[in-house]
Amino acid sequence: MRLTVLGSGSAFSGAGHNACYCLDGRLLVDCGSPAQLLLPQAGHRLDDLDAILLTHFHADHTAMLPVVLGARALAVDDPRPVRLGGPPGTYEFVSRLVRTGYGAHLHGLIMDRLRLDATVLQDGSDVELCGYRVRAHSVPHSTGPSLAYAVSDPTGATVGFSGDSMLSAGLRRAAQQSHAFVCECTGWDEPVPSHLWWGEVQELIAACPDTRFLLSHLTERRQVRGALLAHDLLSLDVEMPGSAALPEPPESVRAARQAS
């Protein structure tokens, strides 16, 4: 499974685009950045997008939805459907964003052409979304419902997303279920309200020794030990441990096998 970072900065820092990530060019997780511009730069096509998964409704995770959905709906004559997934109220929230951004006519056109519908997720949800297994865990943030996810492809390779969260049982469960975990690290030197800082992230890393951490939602970039640091347009391949393909044997061995 290929993870691509389309936004690695915190809400107001300017350290990168706002939160947005993509799996295999098919599943978008949050939409705070201009994915219609960045996906082609990462080698993906907006037309291939099957679903958008939201962790919560803050603007730095959702504000580009009207533009991205509009581009997805209107760029081709007969666009494929797009599925939404997220906390209760996701469909209503997205519909309101699109209507506010573009008015009633384009709202109707975008929603109808993409045949938008939503899978409602909550703590403990374990569902299939466009070929991916999505496990949801409630996490505490500032206002409204907020979810962390562990998203698995058909091979079992799993990428997790913290969304925005304080240290919690739900966050630990999501990280423990993941082979790679995109974890917010909004602060470095001291606690920050409603978010994680480096001291807490280190606790989480210690509790999940089998998980590879990718720090995102950054106010600034520093050298760290025990984790990777995200930047916009970074791509990583995530595999189920032990699932890597065996190297192709030499031609002489293949010929001997065929002869026998």
Q: Return mean pLDDT, the chain.
A: 93
Flag whether pLDDT at 35 surpasses 60.
Answer: yes
Positive or negative, the Cα torsion across 126, 128, 129, 131? positive
Give me the amino acid identity at 59.
Answer: A
Which band of pLDDT confidence, cut at 50, 70 and 90, is reported for residue 260?
Answer: very low
pLDDT one-digit tens code per residue, 91-132? 999 999 999 999 999 999 999 999 999 999 999 999 999 999
pLDDT one-digit tens code per residue, 156-200? 999 999 999 999 999 999 999 999 999 999 999 999 999 999 999
Supply φ then ψ for residue 203, to 5 degrees: -60, -45
Flag whether pLDDT at 28 surpasses 80.
Answer: yes
Which band of pLDDT confidence, cut at 50, 70 and 90, is reported for residue 144?
Answer: confident
pLDDT one-digit tens code per residue, 195-224? 999 999 999 999 999 999 999 999 999 989
Q: Which of 30, 60, 153, 232 is catalytic?
A: 60
In angstroms, the CA 197 to CA 70 distance is 35
* Residue among 26, 20, 30 nearest 55 (CA): 30
Q: Find how far residue 164's CA is from the centre of its chain.
A: 12
> What pLDDT score was predicted for residue 242?
72
- Check if 48 is active-site: no
pLDDT one-digit tens code per residue, 224-244? 999 999 999 999 999 998 754
> What pLDDT score was predicted for residue 243?
56
pLDDT one-digit tens code per residue, 80-95? 999 999 999 999 999 9
Which CATH architecture does the domain made up of 2-259 adopt?
4-Layer Sandwich (3.60)
